[in-house]
Structure 1
Amino acid sequence: SKRMVENNVTLVPTLLVHQFLYEHGFPVWDIYADEKFDKLKEVVKVHKENIKVAYDEGVNIVMGTDSGVIPHGHNLNELLYLIDIGMTPMEAIESATIKAAEFIGKDDVGSIGIGKCADIIFIEDNPLDDMAILTKPNNIMRVFQDGAEVKNRYGLM
């Protein structure tokens, strides 16, 4: 981890995938699921410990996702795992927004401002108080993508 900090390396972990598979099992088509499941518990534990050490040592961490491995719609649970390793709720959100944009060299996304892409969500409660609200689609009241409203929970589009 110290070398990662020295070399300005960004870590993009995906804690969610292994945890999800541990809690829900491998896909039914995976003929090696039984063989892999015993190892999975150790993978979840070691992965979390390693990411926590990296965070504690100051490694730049950007929220990862590997949604193709698990059913879509679960990737914001990754924020909960980042908080679990020690990030503050704001740090977790920034890892998925402004820090992710900086990592890929984009200055027109990741934050709100004049001249930036207008992708934004409005939610019922404050995720800084309870990040889990972002993991439930019904808590997302409105969604704007490229400046156009694409979801309005109240049907007012």
Structure 2
Amino acid sequence: MIKFCATGGVMSKNTDVNAKQFTFQEMEAIVDEAHNHGMKVAAHAHGLEGIKTAINAGVDSVEHSSFIDEETIMLAIKNDVFLSMDIYVSDYILGEGALNGILEESLEKERKTGRLQRENFRKAVNLGAKITFGTDAGIFEHGNNAKQFKYMVKWGMTSLQAIQASTIVAADLLGINNIAYIKEGYYADIIGVEDNPIVNIEALENVTFVMKDGSIIINQL
């Protein structure tokens, strides 16, 4: 998979989250060349026009999708495009991030983006979009990505949908057909937690059992 920036970013200095950074023809060329080499294409896009253009150019997924509207959600569904909406990271940026040196420029952009992204996440869930688990890895400390689950549930998903977003939906996006299910012929990559995540989604924040390819790596159950 490759990723390109269709719009400016919250954490990118001197960029506008609503401004497109490529024309349709340029995006289409990126997608065509990547697909010709058997690669998936993800577009970083906050602004609506950038999202629309990326979808029409044929990307496989749109990262962030902050200012997406209902019409464009339906366009994504029609074109079989996945949405990856990192709705936890806003709290980190405006909380711990602000205490750890994130620039005021980025904080101001996040204040204008985070809440609307969450509201549009709910719309996308209700309309039946393919939403995959994405956390904007690298913004917060490694190992905390499971905090995203409770936000996905708070903003409209069932616990099962949130778990599927991080497993079978993600595998579908990547085109990998031997992971994400517990069944014969698939990699035996399994985690265990001490509570039922369907009832308590936050249980996934404390993984106490890890099996990798059939071998137990950690067992604290």
Shorter-chain TM-score bucket reads: 0.7 to 0.9
Q: What SS does structure 2 have at the residue aligned with 1:117?
A: coil
Matched letter for residue 13 of structure 1: M
Distance 1:35 1:64 in 2: 23
Gaps of 5+ in 2: 1-72
* 1:19 paired residue number: 91
Question: Does 2:215 correspond to 1:148?
Answer: yes
Distance 2:107 2:170 in 1: 31
Matches within 5 A, 1:1-157: 1-26=73-98, 28-30=100-102, 33-135=103-205, 137=206, 140-153=207-220
Taking every aligned residue pair, what percent have the same amino acid on both sides? Answer: 30
Matched letter for residue 87 of structure 2: L
Aligned residue pairs total: 149
Q: What SS does structure 2 have at the residue aligned with 1:66?
A: coil
Please list the CA deviations of residues 71-124 of structure 1 after superposition, one character each: whole Å capped at 9, or x if unmatched: 011101111111122111001100101111111111110110111111101111
Distance 1:77 1:115 in 2: 30
Gaps of 5+ in 1: none
Q: What's the C-alpha RMSD, in Å, of the aligned pairs?
A: 1.7
Moved segments of 4+, more than 6 Å:
none
Q: What SS does structure 1 have at the residue aligned with 2:218?
A: strand
TM-score, normalising length: structure 2 = 0.63
The question of whether the paired residues in 2 share the 8 Å contact of 1:127 and 1:133 is answered with yes
Distance 1:50 1:110 in 2: 27
Q: What SS does structure 2 have at the residue aligned with 1:133?
A: helix
